[in-house]
Amino acid sequence: MDSIKTRIESLRRELNMHNHNYYVLDNPTISDREFDEKLKELERLERENPEYDDPLSPTHRVGSDLSAKGFEQVMHERRMLSLSNTYTVAEVDEFVQRCRDGLPGEDVEIVGELKFDGTSISLHYEHGRLVRAVTRGDGEKGDVVTENVMTIRSIPLQLQGSGWPDRFEIRGEIVLPWKAFDRLNEERAFNEEPLFANPRNAASGTLKMQNSAEVARRGLDAYLYYLLGDNLPFDNHYDNMMAARSWGFKVSDAMKIMHSIEDVDEYIRYWDTARKELPVATDGLVFKVNSLRQQLNLGFTAKSPRWAIAFKFQAERALTQLRFVSFEVGRSGTITPVANLEPVLLSGTIVKRASLHNEDIIRSLDIHEGDMLYVEKGGEIIPKITGVELSERKPGAEPVVFCRDCPSCGTPLRRMEGEAAWYCPNKYGCIPQITGRVEHYVGRRMMNIDGIGEETVTQLFDMGLIHDAADLYTLTEADLMTLPGFGQRSAERILQGVEESKNVTFDRVVYALSIPYVGETVAKKLSRAVGDIDTLMSMSVERLTAIEDIGPRIAASIVEFFADERNRKIVERLRSYGVQMAMPETDEAGRSDKLAGKSIVISGTFTHHSRDEYKNLIELNGGKNVGSISKKTDYVLAGANMGPAKLEKANKLGIPIVDEDTFLKMIE
């Protein structure tokens, strides 16, 4: 048995080293296949010898799909203060001079480093092992997110080298690299979910997910920038961070010691351009006094240290030429104009396209063919056209004209009164609408059929293998293997996904049907109110509008959808293939009307359940979730860190505030 234990420990050390080489040094020394083989051997040995399990083993990096019940909150051992912000080089120079004035007669070294645009984290290590990871929270206390942080492969679970304090804290930034961010937003766009505006929001939201397996899948990264403790190896910030790098932490190569204001100014000039090539988002630079003794002497204000300052870059803006405007058809028939641009680098990515949204936007910007357009990102990653450089407009350039016929099928477009969007009414003969509905059907939050994306749907349609979503259930392995690049494993993966989709709950089926104006939330309310597809298909506008939050437009859209025999045939075929067409009886078991007619706002963080679980409990007991406080609000369900603005407004309007224990008693 000793030989097995020795082999397990050896594999763990080796895999930790390879993780460090790959995720921190970006210098792998073995192939992915060799790494996977060693990981599988370790998984097997740990499975066969559970007495040697270790929660920090590399095999636990994948996370768990078990949902936690909220996050524990703890007080920070040392407050996590924010930094004072400045937006000009002159203000940074003034900061350096203030530090010198506060330390008369002393040499003052300044350390410059990148300000990563993510979410702050505090990592605690004891005896060289990660024991706790805590979010910044309100600076006084934060959420314990250790299980999620353990999935981030650039964060060492067991330190390497030597010389670390027996107990210390290191702070840094959890980030989502551009590549991972783009991939995540592509998935969300495919599933018609709201896109993350920037990597910061995506990183923050990911870190607070209840499913650590999903956290692991998204590909977070981490840069560490500040070491704290009672027995640090050096008396200055820079050397401590270099020591932390030797222990396995990812410390930015951009960290630099400077001795003069001129050095600081040159550092700003350099990174104002060079940051655009970085693999992660940055929104500025941070300057710190290097000496820890000098930091103590300079001290703190009530909100921030006097020995550090953040310099924020201006919002990124570029001028590039419009090549042409294309018009794209969505699954609902909406026509979206897109500006196709000469490629330009913004915030680390090449921008070639930017949505112009609708005809009114094109007119308000007064865009002409071949115009030089200003493209901006700022803190937002989704490119936005913000203006036209009129001085560079070519003589005789014609205004961009919005199309009046569908660019795909040629059908004359229509525009609903009071709406900005034009749409193609040829729902069942316009190819992008047909394939778009199938793409929506297979999406993760709908039927979750793995292995089918936009390209595969188009191939299946072009080859005549599918004409609507119901045809997916008639596909065979032989059919799929006729697709370019498809082999047996790819075909089996899709067929397995199709089979598993028969277990997807009725509310998600309703969402997957692509009924106009019926999104995920409306589908959930509908399915719970009506119970089954036959009832839904037979309901009138009057009966539908009697359901809470179902207005006349949604009701009319549902009636019109099921009045079309083509849609009813698709539903019947889906039913015949085994797709769920009714809510399970168990779903009704926990329902009540204890909160009937009550509008409830949720604010803060919770212990017993997650926010989403509380939203479900409110709906299950007849209540209504609302996002903002008004005179019509009946209660505020408040957890820790309730937003001060919401608290003030609730008190001003006299809205009752209940904690989660009181709320759970209310619904028994």
Task: List, for residues 80-97, the tens digit of each pLDDT value.
Answer: 888 888 888 999 999 999
Q: What does the alpha-carbon distance between residue 598 and residue 615 come to, in Å, rounded to a whole number?
A: 13
Catalytic residue flag (residue 115): yes
Q: Considering the chain, what is the average pLDDT of its residues? A: 87
**CATH number of residue 609's parent domain:** 3.40.50.10190
Q: Please indicate, yes or no, if residue 265 is contained in any of the structural domains.
A: yes
Helices (H) then strands (E): counts for the chain: 25, 22
Q: What does the alpha-carbon distance between residue 150 and residue 140 come to, in Å, rounded to a whole number?
A: 23
Split at pLDDT 50, 70, 90, the class of 399 is very high
Q: Please indicate, yes or no, if residue 25 is contained in any of the structural domains.
A: yes
Q: Which is it for strands 335-346 and 414-415: parallel, antiparallel or unpaired? A: unpaired
Count other C-beta atoms under 10 Å from residue 414's C-beta. Answer: 11
Q: 621 vs 456, 574, 596, 610, 665, CA distance in Å?
A: 42, 31, 7, 17, 13
Taking CA 26 as the corner, what is the angle to CA 22 and CA 31, rounded to the nearest 5 degrees? 45
Q: What is the pLDDT of residues 447-496, one digit of tens each?
A: 989 888 888 999 999 999 999 999 999 999 999 999 988 888 889 989 99
On whether the CB atoms of residues 347 and 341 are closer than 8 A, the answer is no
> Within this chain, do residues 207 and 220 fall inside the same structural domain, yes or no?
yes
Percent of all residues in the chain with a pLDDT value above 90, rounded to a whole number: 49
Mean pLDDT of 305-326: 89
**pLDDT number for residue 572:** 96
**pLDDT number for residue 67:** 39
> Within this chain, do residues 495 and 516 fall inside the same structural domain, yes or no?
no
Q: What is the pLDDT of residues 30-76, one digit of tens each?
A: 765 677 678 878 888 887 887 887 877 887 765 544 434 457 888 89
Q: What is the pLDDT of residues 480-491, one digit of tens each?
A: 999 988 888 889
Of the residues 38, 40, 69, 115, which is catalytic? 115
On whether the CB atoms of residues 152 and 217 are closer than 8 A, the answer is no
In the chain, the amino acid numbered 62 is V
In the chain, the amino acid numbered 187 is E
> Within this chain, do residues 161 and 307 fall inside the same structural domain, yes or no?
yes
* Total domains present in the chain: 6
Would you give the DSSP letter of residue 48? H
Using the predicted structure, report yes or no on whether residue 343 has a pLDDT greater than 50: yes
> Within this chain, do residues 436 and 454 fall inside the same structural domain, yes or no?
yes
- Tell the residue number behind the tokens 């397995």, with chain if given: 496
Q: What does the alpha-carbon distance between residue 203 and residue 280 come to, in Å, rounded to a whole number?
A: 11
Helices 32-48 and 2-23, packing angle to 10 deg: 150
Q: Please indicate, yes or no, if residue 421 is contained in any of the structural domains.
A: no
Q: Please indicate, yes or no, if residue 71 is contained in any of the structural domains.
A: no
Q: Please indicate, yes or no, if residue 75 is contained in any of the structural domains.
A: no
Instruction: Answer with the one of 478, 503, 528 that is the final residue of a domain.
Output: 503
> Within this chain, do residues 122 and 214 fall inside the same structural domain, yes or no?
yes
On whether the CB atoms of residues 402 and 357 are closer than 8 A, the answer is no
Using the predicted structure, report yes or no on whether residue 617 has a pLDDT greater than 90: no
Minimum mean pLDDT among 251-260, 314-323, 478-487, 495-504: which range?
314-323
Minimum mean pLDDT among 49-53, 201-205, 258-262, 373-377: which range?
49-53
Token reading at 389: 């450089």
**CATH number of residue 550's parent domain:** 1.10.150.20
The backbone region for 347, taken as left when phi is positive above 0, alpha when psi lies in -120 to 50, beta otherwise, is left
| Residues 6 or more apart in contact with residue 465 via CB below 8 angstroms | 471, 475, 479
> Within this chain, do residues 112 and 96 fall inside the same structural domain, yes or no?
yes
| Residues 6 or more apart in contact with residue 304 via CB below 8 angstroms | 81, 82, 83, 84
Q: What does the alpha-carbon distance between residue 559 and residue 538 come to, in Å, rounded to a whole number?
A: 8
> Within this chain, do residues 347 and 443 fall inside the same structural domain, yes or no?
no
Q: What does the alpha-carbon distance between residue 379 and residue 347 come to, in Å, rounded to a whole number?
A: 9
> Within this chain, do residues 595 and 578 fall inside the same structural domain, yes or no?
no
- What is the residue range of 56's domain? 2-61
Using the predicted structure, report yes or no on whether residue 610 has a pLDDT greater than 80: no
**pLDDT number for residue 667:** 84
Q: 30 vs 9, 35, 37, 249, CA distance in Å?
A: 19, 7, 11, 20
Higher-confidence residue of 386 and 23: namely 386
> Within this chain, do residues 122 and 254 fall inside the same structural domain, yes or no?
yes
Instruction: Answer with the one of 251, 283, 312 that is the final residue of a domain.
Output: 312
> Within this chain, do residues 129 and 153 fall inside the same structural domain, yes or no?
yes
> Within this chain, do residues 117 and 230 fall inside the same structural domain, yes or no?
yes
On whether the CB atoms of residues 497 and 452 are closer than 8 A, the answer is yes
Q: Which is it for strands 85-86 and 221-228: parallel, antiparallel or unpaired? A: unpaired
Q: What is the pLDDT of residues 272-305, one digit of tens each?
A: 888 878 889 888 999 999 999 999 999 987 678 9
Q: Please indicate, yes or no, if residue 302 is contained in any of the structural domains.
A: yes
- Tell the residue number behind the tokens 């506008």, with chain if given: 541
Q: Residue 308: how many CA atoms within 13 Å on its side-chain side?
A: 24
| Residues 6 or more apart in contact with residue 485 via CB below 8 angstroms | none
**pLDDT number for residue 371:** 95
**CATH number of residue 53's parent domain:** 1.10.287.610
Q: What does the alpha-carbon distance between residue 472 and residue 462 come to, in Å, rounded to a whole number?
A: 14
Instruction: Answer with the one of 281, 312, 343 that is the final residue of a domain.
Output: 312
| Residues 6 or more apart in contact with residue 106 via CB below 8 angstroms | 294
Q: Please indicate, yes or no, if residue 376 is contained in any of the structural domains.
A: yes
On whether the CB atoms of residues 422 and 414 are closer than 8 A, the answer is yes
Q: Residue 156: how many CA atoms within 13 Å on its side-chain side?
A: 28
The backbone region for 269, taken as left when phi is positive above 0, alpha when psi lies in -120 to 50, beta otherwise, is alpha
* DSSP string for residues in 238-285: HHHHHHHHHTT----TT-EEE-SHHHHHHHHHHHHHHGGGSSS-EEEE
Nearest to 640 by CA among 605, 594, 593: 605
Q: What is the pLDDT of residues 421-457, one digit of tens each?
A: 899 999 999 999 999 999 999 988 899 898 888 889 9
Q: Please indicate, yes or no, if residue 73 is contained in any of the structural domains.
A: no
> Within this chain, do residues 451 and 551 fall inside the same structural domain, yes or no?
no
